[in-house]
Every structure is written in C-alpha cells, then in structure tokens.
Chain A
C-alpha cells in the first residue's frame, strides 16, 4: 500500500537516503505505539483483523480439541489463541497509518488551496500596481514636461532679447540656466525612456538602413566634448553597412555608448568605433572602445544594472543617471542582439554588440538561415 504512494510522491524528502521500505516500517512501528489515538479506521481495521485472525485458533485449537475430545494443553495453542489479537493489533496499526496519511494529504491539500488563494490575491495586487504605475507614468510625463515648457520658453525668449536688451551678466546667467534646463530635460527623457524600455512598453520598427552615417552623426553630436578633451577619434567602418533593426533605437544605443566613451576618457586619449561583418552568419559586429580607466572585474557584473555607476564619485564628476547601459541592454535585448563589455582596470573599455545584416538577395537570406540553424 505505501511503497506505491511513496514512489509516486515527487517531492520525497531528500534526506531519506534510506530505502522506502524502512520509512513504511518506521511509520508502522510508530503507529503501533499510537494506542490512544482515536480514529475510526483503527477500530474498523482492528475488528477486521480480529475476525480474520479467528479462523486460525478456531481451526487449529478447536478442531484439535474436538478431535481429541479434551482440552489439550499444548503450548502452541496459546500462540494460536493470541493470533486474533495479534492480527487485530497489526491491522489496527495499519489503519492508523492509513488514517494519518490521509490526514497528511488533507492538510497538504488545504495548504495548497491557501497558497493558491494567496497567489491569486498577490496577482491581483500586482495587476493593480501595474495599472497604477502606467497611470502614474502617463501623469508624470505630462507633469514633468509642462513646467519645462514655461521655464525654457521664457528663458530662451529673454535670452533672445525678446523683451528688451540684456546686460552681459544677465545673458551669462540665463545661459547657465538654459543649459541646466537642457540637462534636466535630458535626464527626464532618459528616465522616461528607460521606464518604457524596462516595462517592455514599446515596439521595434525594424527596417533596413545604413549604419555608417548613423555612427558618424552620433559621433558628431559629441564633437564639442571631443574637441574640448582633445580626443582622437578612430573610425574603422566599411563604406556601407546595411543592417536590419530599429534605426532610432540603435541610434540611441550608439549615442549612449559613445557618450560613455567620451565621458570616461582622460584628456588627450582616444576613442573609436570599429565595425565588421560576417556574411556567413549574417551579422554585423560593432565595437565602441575607449582608453579610459576601464572597469574592474569585480564591478563588471553590475554593469547593466539600472542606476548603477562604477564609481560613486564619478556621478558628481560626470553626472548621468546610470541608466545608459541599462537602456542599451534593454534595446538590444529586444532586438535579440548580444552585447558584451570587455574591460579591465587601467586598460580601457570595449563594448561589442552585433546586429543582423540586411539581406538584399533572397538566396543570401536562405543561406543565412541555414547557417544560423534556426
């Protein structure tokens, strides 16, 4: 009875390295000692056992006495007379074991039901939270941007001397104010973009486009900082590199990576972008590298964690929300494109990622498919 159920139980305690038979025996022995535990099964089983055991003394001692005509005092008769009692005890114990197992199962089932209920409640709460968060994001977007419109609008209007001439000091002060509004706006954009990517709330618009001008314009955006830090820029790109991806999002990725490269390069250093293609795999690989301080290996596993920055003090020096790499990873994950950072302390940083090549010829597409083994 028990070995079967023991074998079926999927989560048998791993501590019991002993064979299943022992567990059953132990339970049985334990049940024997449970004389005072009332349970209906025990009585029924005991009675059944007793009745079952009766034929033995009846047919052995009884026939013996009837045949011989007198009460024979053979020692074995005592054993036979004990037989029904023994059977009653054994069967009773079996009944107790059965009852206890049933109770165990019952309790487990109750617990399962309770857990299922709790999970259901938790799920409801999560769904509600999700909805609230989406609502919050929608509100926040509006609330954060509206004041910026007024602040920026007036700052820039006054700076344009729209409401009258300015003194040099006024112009200087306003210039700083406007730059800070810009910075604030970028931070808010970054945070909101990250939030959308994090919650997967966006769709990729895949198209074929040339990556080369995208890299070039991304680099151009940072021309002022590059010139200020006297950084050398090395581009090793083919003439044309057609990839299939979401152009705007990949532009964003490039912006983030180049921004990091520029930010963490000391003056006079160099940064660069290298691209190569592997036609057989149908992929284009890109590397954005710098010769900055690098990332210690202990920190590398946190690189793509949101809000994380390698060096706390760098936040004050370089600013930023620590979301750049998290956003890149989010975007590339959505493209199912791998991204990898190779870096060691003092040896600069290289960020590699790859994209799918755009296929011109259907024959190429098939070849790529078979190579990729999809």
Chain B
C-alpha cells in the first residue's frame, strides 16, 4: 500500500521538485500551498506524514502548531540559516535543511515513518 504524504509548500519551483522526487519514490503525494488547503486535504484523506516547507508564507512553526492536534508526524524543510530562531515545535519530528540532496529528504521521511510504527 502506498504511503500518503501531504506536501505544504507555496513556492511553485520547489513544489515540482519535491513532488517529482517523492512520487518517483513511491509516495502518494498531495500538494497544497497553505494551511487552509492542508486542512481540507487532511479532512478528505488522512496522510501518513506531512512535509512542510519552512519558507512558505504561511509561517512554518504556526502551521505546525495548527496541525498538531491531528497527530500526524511532520517533517520540516528549513533554510540553513533561518531568519527566525526555531525552538522545538510540537509535532515536528525532523528538520531537513535545504538545499538538500533528495536522498537526505527521503531518508528523513523514512526515519520518521519507521519510528512512528
């Protein structure tokens, strides 16, 4: 059974990259640009993991906090030098720094899923 993944990213360039990488890796990917759409997507079909891009205008930490009640593991992709200090945020299991190798992102997601099981 293919694992469902929800990608939240508002930057069209990086959206395509991640979608391609994740789809070819075998995930069932749903892409949304912001948290409203994310909520709608979660309602329609609950994903196994959420991948959140920290640069998205939504403001990653707030989105993560917003989605925390659903208890879905979140992997956050953050820039190497964050403009804001990010403390430990409930719900975020892994932080991957970008630009990253596809391998790194995939292994991070694998780890998070494996640990959850």
Which residues of B in the span 1-26 have a Cβ within 8 Å of any Cβ on A? 11, 13-14, 16-18, 20-21, 24-25
Which residues of A in the span 90-107 have a Cβ within 8 Å of any Cβ on B? none
Nearest neighbor of B24 in chain A, beta-carbon distance: A162
Q: Given the interface contacts A138-B83, A141-B83, does A157 sit within 8 Å of B20 by beta carbon?
A: yes
Contact call B99/A185, Cβ cutoff below 8 A = yes
1/0 per residue, CB under 8 A from B, across A150-192: the answer is 1011101100101100000000000000000100010001001
Which residues of B in the span 74-117 have a Cβ within 8 Å of any Cβ on A? 79-81, 83, 98-103
User: Is A371 at the interface (CB under 8 A from chain B)?
Assistant: no
Interface size on B, residues (CB 8 A): 21
- Cβ of B7 to closest chain A Cβ, rounded Å: 13
> Given the complex of chains A and B, what is the CA–CA distance between A160 and B16 in angstroms?
17
> Given the complex of chains A and B, what is the CA–CA distance between A147 and B25 in angstroms?
22
Contact call B101/A154, Cβ cutoff below 8 A = no
Contact call B13/A150, Cβ cutoff below 8 A = yes
Nearest neighbor of A196 in chain B, beta-carbon distance: B81
Could you say which residues of chain A place their CB within 8 Å of the CB of B28? none
Q: Given the interface contacts A142-B55, A148-B99, A192-B81, does A153 sit within 8 Å of B11 by beta carbon?
A: no
- Cβ of B55 to closest chain A Cβ, rounded Å: 6
- Cβ of B41 to closest chain A Cβ, rounded Å: 22
> Given the complex of chains A and B, what is the CA–CA distance between A149 and B80 in angstroms?
12
User: Is A35 at the interface (CB under 8 A from chain B)?
Assistant: no
User: Is A146 at the interface (CB under 8 A from chain B)?
Assistant: yes
Nearest neighbor of B16 in chain A, beta-carbon distance: A150
Could you say which residues of chain B place their CB within 8 Å of the CB of A148? 99
State the A residues within 8 Å of B (CB): 138, 141-142, 145-150, 152-154, 156-157, 160, 162-163, 181, 185, 189, 192-193, 196
Ordered nearest first, which 10 A-B pairs have the shortest CB separation?
A: A153-B17, A150-B13, A148-B99, A152-B99, A149-B99, A162-B24, A149-B14, A150-B17, A149-B98, A157-B102
